[in-house]
Amino acid sequence: YPLDILQIWKGGLVFSGGLITSCLVGGWYIRKYRLSFWLVGDIIAPSVALGQAIGRIGCFMAGCGYGKPTNLPWAVTFHNPHSLAPLNIPLHPTQLYHCLACTIIFFCLMILRKHKSFEGQIFLWYLLMHSLQRIIIERFRGDLYPFIGQMTATQFISLVILLTSGIMIILKTTKNKNK
């Protein structure tokens, strides 16, 4: 199963693969034109979060990224036969959970911009918050399969990104305070 994440035609790597590829291509471009990776990351991170929030509305409309069955009062039921979600079953609206989380992340990053103390801070906080929400919300998804134990591939990748960005925030904050 571990290599299943590389099968993008089956949904493997979806956002995580896009993020990794964007960072690699963006990193190449930034290096070629001698731009600051951290500054560019800080500039684009809020827009990425807002774009994801809007994109999740599209996921909701298509029925992709659907949740597990639930009896909660805010459960959603898909009836369109072209929907990717199971029909006529109350499900967690995980797409809307993601939309709300990404909207909150966007506003947090916009506030952080006014209090930024080092280059890369906004970008690293975006990575940390986005990874955390993915780890949490993935538990409610109904369209995913375990990768390692009960953890999905996205949760595993998000955990690595969360830990890495958290460590980098601590290191950069400490370094900045020592200046």
Residue 4 has pLDDT above 60, yes or no: no
Q: Is residue 90 part of a domain?
A: yes
Residues pairing with 91 in the sheet: 69, 76
Q: Is residue 67 part of a domain?
A: yes
Point out the least confidently predicted range of 3-17, 60-74, 99-113. Answer: 3-17
Q: Is residue 46 part of a domain?
A: yes
Cα distance between residue 154 and residue 12, in whole Å: 9
Average pLDDT, integer, range 38-67: 94
| Number of domains present in the structure of the chain | 1
Q: Is residue 14 part of a domain?
A: no
DSSP state of 35: -
Q: Is residue 149 part of a domain?
A: yes
Question: Quick one: pLDDT at residue 132?
Answer: 98
Q: Is residue 36 part of a domain?
A: no
Question: Quick one: pLDDT at residue 124?
Answer: 98
Question: Quick one: pLDDT at residue 16?
Answer: 63
Q: What is the pLDDT of residues 153-162, one digit of tens each?
A: 889 999 999 9
Average pLDDT, integer, range 57-79: 94
Question: Quick one: pLDDT at residue 115?
Answer: 94
Q: What is the pLDDT of residues 83-131, one digit of tens each?
A: 889 999 999 999 999 999 999 999 999 999 999 999 999 999 999 999 9
Question: What does the angle CA 164 – CA 174 – CA 23 come to, to the nearest 5 degrees?
Answer: 35
Which residue range is the domain that position 86 belongs to? 41-177
Distances (CA, A) of 156 to 127, 133, 136, 153, 161: 14, 13, 12, 5, 9
CB contact set of 36 (below 8 Å; sequence gap of 6+): 30, 119
* pTM, full prediction: 0.85
Q: Is residue 10 part of a domain?
A: no
Average pLDDT, integer, range 133-154: 90
Give the count of beta carbons closer than 10 Å to the beta carbon of residue 15.
16
Question: Quick one: pLDDT at residue 130?
Answer: 97
* Residue with the two structure tokens 């996205």: 154
Residue 13 has pLDDT above 60, yes or no: no
Question: Quick one: pLDDT at residue 1?
Answer: 46
pLDDT-derived band at 147 (thresholds 50, 70, 90) equals confident
Question: Quick one: pLDDT at residue 15?
Answer: 63
CA 34 to mean position of chain CA atoms:
27
Q: Is residue 20 part of a domain?
A: no
Cα distance between residue 108 and residue 103, in whole Å: 9
